């Protein structure tokens, strides 16, 4: 069984001490590959270095809402440059976030997101989209709809999908896929499970968003890691009444299609 963690941050300091063991545990759990997006210009080199170090590691390059307040138009060239690296498979992590402590105004966030959506379309790369709440989901989908990515087959992914079925349908219509993360494993996540049960299996991928939000039963560990994709796959399998092997196969194929990477990775 092969799984792909389509979104994790192994460059995070939480993994500094034991990244090697984390990568080994991922492989042992069948998670042969993972995509590590950048958040800022500061960590793009680290993310690219990890992609060079680990065969199973791919990178996303992009600027996250929290780090886009001092954006200059010329910055898009820096991302374009970084995206030339052979292990870069996406533009991300990008998106919108109106949380109170985010410095960038809505207008700045819109401009930075639109520039990065256009770059992704230019480079034929999918986008890894971050959202905070219903308002950002709606605005993000509106901007994608107005961008040249709209309707493309490999437009991108709504990472850490936790919205309602209406948002899911709008995203699917735009060509996006939905990435299911740890919360789907929580016994209390009834609403999310109900939405996931209605999603077409050929349009979902799996992720941990490590080190954030460990899935059940790892919530006490305070840190998620790529190996945990397996319990997320098991939860999706239970919701869809399928075997976990089937969910692994389908979601791995979906991720390979999305990121244009080989159909099998090396265990
Ligand atoms: Zn992330």
Asked if 41 and 10 count as a contact pair (C-beta separation under 8 A), the reply is: no
CATH number at residue 93: 3.20.20.140
Is the peptide bond prior to 93 cis by the omega test (within 30 degrees of 0)? yes
| Residue 267 is assigned to a structural domain of this protein | no
Query: In this structure, what DSSP letter does residue 215 have?
Result: P
Structure tokens at 173: 């219509």
With bands split at pLDDT 50, 70 and 90, how would you rate the model's confidence at 264? confident
Asked if 58 and 88 count as a contact pair (C-beta separation under 8 A), the reply is: yes
Q: How far apart are the CA of 38 and the centre of ligand 1, in A? A: 8
Q: How far apart are the CA of 153 and the centre of ligand 1, in A? A: 22
Q: How far apart are the CA of 114 and the centre of ligand 1, in A? A: 19
Instruction: Please name which of 5, 37, 197, 245 lies closest in space to residue 130, comparing C-alpha atoms.
Output: 37
Asked if 244 and 237 count as a contact pair (C-beta separation under 8 A), the reply is: yes
| Residue 17 is assigned to a structural domain of this protein | yes
Q: In this predicted model, what pLDDT tens digit does every residue of 218-262 receive, in sequence order?
A: 998 889 999 999 999 999 999 999 999 999 999 999 999 999 999
Residue 46 belongs to domain spanning: 3-259
Q: How far apart are the CA of 213 and the centre of ligand 1, in A? A: 11
| Residue 29 is assigned to a structural domain of this protein | yes
Strands 88-95 and 3-5: unpaired
Instruction: Please name which of 82, 81, 22 lies closest in space to residue 54, comparing C-alpha atoms.
Output: 22
Q: In this predicted model, what pLDDT tens digit does every residue of 68-79 receive, in sequence order?
A: 999 999 999 999
To the question of pTM greater than 0.75 for the whole model, the response is yes
Q: In this predicted model, what pLDDT tens digit does every residue of 168-200 receive, in sequence order?
A: 999 999 999 999 999 999 999 999 999 999 999
| Residue 134 is assigned to a structural domain of this protein | yes
For tokens 């850490």, what's the residue? 160
The Cβ of residue 138 has, within 10 Å, a number of other Cβ atoms equal to: 16
What length does the chain have?
Answer: 267
| Residue 160 is assigned to a structural domain of this protein | yes
Alpha carbon distance 129, 107 (integer Å) = 17
Mention every residue, 6+ apart, whose C-beta is less than 8 A from residue 236. Answer: 180, 184, 196, 204, 206, 247, 251
Q: How far apart are the CA of 102 and the centre of ligand 1, in A? A: 16
Dihedrals φ, ψ of 150, to 5°?
-55, 125
The number of domains in the chain is 1
With bands split at pLDDT 50, 70 and 90, how would you rate the model's confidence at 63? very high
Q: In this predicted model, what pLDDT tens digit does every residue of 87-135 receive, in sequence order?
A: 999 999 999 999 989 999 999 999 999 999 999 999 999 999 999 899 9
Asked if 141 and 169 count as a contact pair (C-beta separation under 8 A), the reply is: no
Q: How far apart are the CA of 128 and the centre of ligand 1, in A? A: 8
For tokens 């034991």, what's the residue? 18
Q: How far apart are the CA of 93 and the centre of ligand 1, in A? A: 6
| Residue 265 is assigned to a structural domain of this protein | no
| Residue 266 is assigned to a structural domain of this protein | no
Strands across the sheet with 127-130, in order?
Answer: 3-5, 31-37, 57-61, 88-95, 127-130, 156-158, 176-180, 204-206
Average pLDDT, the chain: 96
Q: How far apart are the CA of 250 and the centre of ligand 1, in A? A: 23
| Residue 202 is assigned to a structural domain of this protein | yes
């Amino acid at each position: 069984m092969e799984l792909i963690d389509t979104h994790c941050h192994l460059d995070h300091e939480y993994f500094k001490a034991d990244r090697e063991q984390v990568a080994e545990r991922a492989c042992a759990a069948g998670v042969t590959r993972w995509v590590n997006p950048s958040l800022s210009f500061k960590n793009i080199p680290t993310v690219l270095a990890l992609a060079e170090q680990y065969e199973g590691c791919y990178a996303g390059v992009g600027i996250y809402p929290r780090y886009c307040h001092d954006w200059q138009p010329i910055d898009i060239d820096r991302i374009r440059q970084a995206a030339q690296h052979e292990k870069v498979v996406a533009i991300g992590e990008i998106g919108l976030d109106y949380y109170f402590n985010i410095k960038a105004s809505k207008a700045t966030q819109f401009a930075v997101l639109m520039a990065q959506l256009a770059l992704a379309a230019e480079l034929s790369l999918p986008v890894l989209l971050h959202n905070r709440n219903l308002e950002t989901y709606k605005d993000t989908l509106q901007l994608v709809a107005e961008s040249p990515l709209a309707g493309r087959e490999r437009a991108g992914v709504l990472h850490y999908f936790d919205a309602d079925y209406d948002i899911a349908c709008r995203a699917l219509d735009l060509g996006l896929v939905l990435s299911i993360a740890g919360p789907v494993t929580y016994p209390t996540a009834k609403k999310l499970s109900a939405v996931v049960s209605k999603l077409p299996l050929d349009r979902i991928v799996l992720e941990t968003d490590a080190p954030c939000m460990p899935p059940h039963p790892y919530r006490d560990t305070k840190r998620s890691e790529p190996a945990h994709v397996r319990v997320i796959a098991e939860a999706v399998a239970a919701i869809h009444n399928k075997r976990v092997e089937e969910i692994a196969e389908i979601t791995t194929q979906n991720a390979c299609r999305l990121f244009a990477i080989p159909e099998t990775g090396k265990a």
